[in-house]
Amino acid sequence: MTLIRTLLFAVAAIAALGLAPHGAAADGLPLTDHLAQVHAAANTAAAQLLAGNRAAAVGTMQLGSDGAEALDPTEILDPATRKRFQKQVTTLRKKFRDGLSKLNDAAVPALTAQRAIGSAADASLDADRILQRTDGGVLLEELGAKSAGFHDAAKSVLFRIQLAKTCPDEPVIRVVDESGGAVATTFEEVRRDASGGRVIRVTMGAAGGAGRVEVTSCGVTRRWLLFNYGPKGGYPTAPKPEASRFNGTWTGTFTGTASEKGGTRQVFGPVEFTVTNGQIRISEPGDGVGSISGTGRSRFSGGSGGIASATYRFQGLFVQFVVGGMSASGNWTATYRGGSARGRWSASRAGM
């Protein structure tokens, strides 16, 4: 029920911004709008994390990741543009998966997770710039952008606005502060060129939170989302993780391939072990011991089981999720008379 409540909270948060997860109202949207939803999910997750609601941020980031996976570059007719966009979407999906993974790992500090969210947002805006350059209207981009609008408090940020040659309208420029103090509600023009393009400066405020820059001209509105990390020390420092958080009985399976003189064959079997304050005692496959660190890195070994007279060595990572309990998985190898084997293993803690 906790996971369901979290996802419902995340959906409500995005809906409050006029957005929707892909698969609902997002179906059939123009590609630019679909991409805007993906970016908005990152911005919303960042704001939720800053507010201390990490579980809600996980749900929102999951929606963004799902939206990134659903982006369809085949909607782009120009082959060259489609190829560039497809390449960027691959990067975007990877960044969202990484951000979600760090956000949902309870051992990862909040600020580290926030930086990963910013990296995902950056990838989404890189994709958006590809589309902006092909559909005319207004081009809005942050100059020298490496963090997709994710900035420290009091930082000055420059934006370039370029209008279509066929558009005679004076652009309407707004800076919207959604969090109160996160983004200055005014801006200043730095320079203007003969074609009507201009550079503006927006100064981030003292408080953390979300906002955006909006430019409208000739019926086209561009938005660049902003996020203020806030003052230094605004994110709590997580205590050093203890291995005791993984205490309990774990069960799962291992699968892989055994190589012998006669060829190869698939092997599989059960995995069972207990964790007690950093010490691992394995009972399947075979008996053995090992250890696990507070960060979840583990090594353990066992004998026999699955393959007669085999010696197994396991290594892997245990993760305590913010949403979704715990998991453990990794690689294994085995040696025995006449051959060797290797593969993957996974396990979950009893009662979770």
Of residues 229 and 249, more confidently modeled: 249
With the CA atoms of 335, 338, 343 and 345 taken in that order, what torsion angle do they form, in degrees rounded to the nearest 10? Answer: -60
What pLDDT is attached to residue 260? Answer: 84
Write b or e for each residue in 25-39: b if 16 or more Cβ atoms lie within 10 A of its Cβ, otherwise e: ebeeeebeebbbbbb
Q: Region 122-133: what's the mean pLDDT?
A: 83
Instruction: Extract the tokens encoding 70.
Output: 């659903």
Q: What is the pLDDT of residue 307?
A: 58
Q: What does the alpha-carbon distance between residue 31 and residue 152 come to, in Å, rounded to a whole number?
A: 30
Question: How many whole angstroms separate alpha carbon 120 and alpha carbon 102?
Answer: 12
CATH no. of 1-134: 1.20.1420
Per-domain residue ranges for the chain?
1-134, 136-234, 243-349
Residues 6+ apart with CB under 8 A from 236: 110
Q: What is the pLDDT of residues 138-194, one digit of tens each?
A: 888 888 766 668 888 888 999 999 887 777 778 899 998 887 778 887 889 999 887
Domain 243-349 has CATH 3.40.1110.10: no
Question: Which of 2.60.40.10, 3.30.70.20, 2.60.120.10, 2.40.50.140 would CATH assign to domain 136-234?
Answer: 2.60.40.10
pLDDT at 75: 79
pTM higher than the cut 0.95: no
Residue range 9-37, pLDDT digits in tens: 333 333 433 433 333 333 456 788 888 89
